[in-house]
Amino acid sequence: MTEHHELAFRLGRAAALSLVAGTVGGAAVLAGQAIAARNRRYAQPELGLALRATVGRAGAPPLRLVLLGDSSALGVGVERFEETVGGQLAHLLAEGPTGWQVHLSSVGVAGSRSTDLATQVARALLGERPDVALILVGANDATTMTRPADAAAYLAAAVRRLREAHVEVVVGTCPDLGAVRAVASPLRQVLGWSGRRVARTQTTAVLDAGGSVVDLATETGPVFRADAGTLCHDGYHPSADGYRVWAHALLPAVSAAAAVASRHH
């Protein structure tokens, strides 16, 4: 199943589940919006995007940064590595006060939910151990109406495994799904509500497991709601500008994690 069809299915399921408490009129509106969402064309992963790259000057302190999670960990919605959240974050780290040489990789898979992180953690720990892991996940848990506690438990297990392997972990929680333009109101509000529930449980679970958290919805949601240019052509995935907003929001926590990791070398 392509990500387009997976997303359409998820949006349809979210609409159907939200109808239980709705009126007949509301049900008709939501059903219509789910059909419209199914017929949209969504961005696909760019096969040419590098999943491994080195950014920064030779001889600078090395930093192995791995991205895990869903389509955002791959950069779906943009065409060039430099536009992905990982690419932009790597450049910010390389240009910052420490001036890291960032060895960036991604094991993210488009369409992933928190339950898929176990496989990604195993891949991330193959070979040379990363210093910092950045996990971007939650949107697909929210759109499938996965129980937040279940999603958070899988995320916490992933964070614990990485921490036990002496990897610093930063989690960007579920972004503001109320900002997406691929879906109209009131379905958009339903997804926004579901995303906030997921983000709240993610925060508690990650902190308890020893990771650090960046609340992407709170930090970046207002910008995404105000500026349509933060989303790519499909109105769902971030654009280069959107990923830049995320990268700047994630930078302080990732920089702090990198500093801690460097002291353990």
Q: Is 234 a catalytic residue?
A: yes
**DSSP readout, 60-87?**
SPEEEEEEEESGGGTTTT-SSGGGSHHH
SS3 233: coil
Q: Locate 199 and state its tokens.
A: 């983000």
Q: Is 231 helix (H, G, I), strand (E, B) or coil?
A: strand
Contact between 93 and 161 (Cβ < 8 Å): no
Prior bond of 186 cis (ω within 30°): yes
Q: Which of 106, 237, 239, 255 is catalytic?
A: 237
Nearest to 36 by CA among 193, 182, 235, 179: 182
- Give residues with Cβ within 8 angstroms of 54, minimum separation 6: 101, 102, 103, 104
- What are 250-253's contacts with CB under 8 Å, separation 24+? 250/85, 250/89, 250/134, 250/170, 250/172, 250/214, 250/216, 251/89, 251/92, 251/93, 251/96, 253/170, 253/212, 253/213, 253/214
Catalytic residue among 70, 116, 215, 234: 234
**Residue of 71, 112, 194, 239 marked active site:** 71
Q: Which residues are catalytic?
A: 71, 234, 237
